[in-house]
A and B are shown apart, each in its own frame.
Chain A
Amino acid sequence: GESVGLHLPTLSVQEGDNSIINCAYSNSASDYFIWYKQESGKGPQFIIDIRSNMDKRQGQRVTVLLNKTVKHLSLQIAATQPGDSAVYFCAEPTGGKLIFGQGTELSVKP
């Protein structure tokens, strides 16, 4: 089976609210995770990454949290905007390839 997975397939938030997208992984030796955003009709695009020696990493309006104890990571989007509507994937490079999680579709209500 896949080494990464997501709790929810869809998430709907009000514009301006914060969004939290979750991801679980199974391999305790995993040391690097990446979040990708895929807008409708386009290919996935890198958002942010985090290494296992960090608990938190911040980007522009996005924060990724890594909890190695429970093998869980999350992507937080602050002040969600309509342009954030997309499918979000967590991914892990392992065994010479990138393994993608299931994906969460984020919808932003105006």
Chain B
Amino acid sequence: DTAVSQTPKYLVTQMGNDKSIKCEQNLGHDTMYWYKQDSKKFLKIMFSYNNKELIINETVPNRFSPKSPDKAHLNLHINSLELGDSAVYFCASSQDFRDEQYFGPGTRLTVT
């Protein structure tokens, strides 16, 4: 059973398009996150949600809009994609931000 799953695994799209990445966790955790990992492996938090409420928004452009329909899901919608959005995006979950976080397998986004 996959604890944190993301779809799609790979996403190739053109500049200006709008795309979504979905994330689901079956661990019963209250908190979910989106991270961006650049080509140098630097991993940075973008958003965190606790019980469907936005807790952290790390000065991410408003082209990025997370949506949490329920505690087990946190989707990421990106409008007007830019070349600089190319990265690997990871979803994660934990009971609390100080607890062990469980990461999904990542979505490699390539914007051409």
By a beta-carbon cutoff of 8 Å, the part of chain A in contact with chain B is 32, 34, 38, 41-46, 49, 87, 89, 93, 96-100, 102-103, 105
How many residue pairs link A and B with beta carbons under 8 A? The number is: 52
Give the complex CA separation of A102 and B98 in angstroms.
19
B window 28-60: CB within 8 A of A: 33, 41-45, 48, 55-56, 58
B92 at the interface (CB under 8 A from A): yes
Q: Which residues of B contact A34 (CB under 8 A)?
A: 100
Interface hit among B12-20, B69-77, B101-109: B101-109
Interface residue from B44, B55, B56, B105 paired with A42 (Cβ < 8 Å): B105
- Residue from B41, B44, B45, B105 whose CB has the most chain A CB atoms within 10 Å: B41
Q: Which residues of A contact B44 (CB under 8 A)?
A: 100
| Least CB distance, A11 to chain B, in whole angstroms | 14
Q: Are A93's CB and B41's CB within 8 A?
A: no
**How far, in angstroms, from A100 to B55 measured CA to CA in the complex?**
18
| Nearest opposing residue in chain A for B108, CB measure | A41
Minimum Cβ distance to chain B for residue A20 (Å) = 19
- Complex contact A98–B101 (CB within 8 A): yes
Q: Identify which of A45, A98, A100, A105 contacts B97 (C-beta below 8 A).
A: A98
Instruction: Check if B4 is an interface residue, CB within 8 A of chain A.
Output: yes
- Asked if A103 meets B43 with Cβ closer than 8 Å, knowing A43-B90, A46-B100, A96-B97, the reply is yes
Q: Would you give the shortest CB distance from B3 to chain A, in whole angstroms?
A: 10
B31 to chain A, nearest CB (A): 10
A103 — nearest CB in chain B belongs to which residue? B41
A98 touching B105, Cβ below 8 Å:
no
What is the CB-to-nearest-CB distance from B98 to chain A, in angstroms, rounded to a whole number?
A: 4
Whether the Cβ atoms of A45 and B103 lie closer than 8 Å is: yes
The 5 A-B residue pairs with the shortest CB-CB distance, nearest first, are A43-B103, A100-B43, A46-B100, A93-B98, A103-B41
